[in-house]
Amino acid sequence: MQILIFLVIGWAAFAVCTSILGAIDRVVQEGNER
C-alpha cells in the first residue's frame, strides 16, 4: 500500500507542476496578445 502512496505522491507532484506550466503559458500568451 505504502509503495503505491509514494508513487502517487510523485506523480501528483508532476501533475501539479504541469498545471502550473499551463498557468505560466497563459501569462505569456496574454502578454503576447496585448
Partner 1 sequence: VYDLIYAFALLIVALALSWPLGRVMAAIARPSRDQPDWLDRAMTKVLGPRALAEQTWKGYALTLLGFNVVMFTVTYAILIFQGSLPLNPAGKPGVEPSLAFHTAMSFATNTNLQHYSGEVALSYFSQLFGLTWLQFVSAATGIAALAAIARVLGPIGKIGNFYRDLVRFTLLLVLLALLVGCVLIVAGTPMTFAGPVELTTLEGGQQTIARGPVAAMVAIKQLGTNGGGFFGPNSAHPLENPSFFTCALENLSILVMPMASLWMFGRLTGRMRDAWVLFAVMAALFLALVIPATLLEAQPNPGLADLAIVEGRGNLEGKELRFGSAAGPIWAVTTTATSNGSVAAMHDSLNPLTGLMPMIGMWLNVGFGGVGVGLLGMLLYVIITVFIAGLMVGRTPEYFGRKVEVREMKLAALALLLHPFLILGGTAWFVATHLGTETMSNPGSHGFSQVLYEMSSAAANNGSGFEGLADNTMPWNLVTGLWMFLGRYLPIILPLAIAASLASKQRVPESVGTLRTDSPTFGVMLFGCVVLLGALLFLPAAVLGPIAEQLEMSR
Judged by the rule CB under 8 A, the positions of this chain that interact with partner 1 are 2-3, 5-7, 9-11, 13-14, 17-18, 20-21, 24-25, 27-28, 30-32
Least distance (Å) from partner 1 to the CB of residue 12?
A: 10
Residue the block writes with cell 503505491: 4
The 8 Å CB, 24+ separation contacts for 1-5 are none
Tell me the C-alpha distance between 12 and 20, whole Å.
12
Residue 23 CB, shortest distance to partner 1, in Å, is 10
> Minimum CB separation from partner 1 for residue 21, in Å?
6
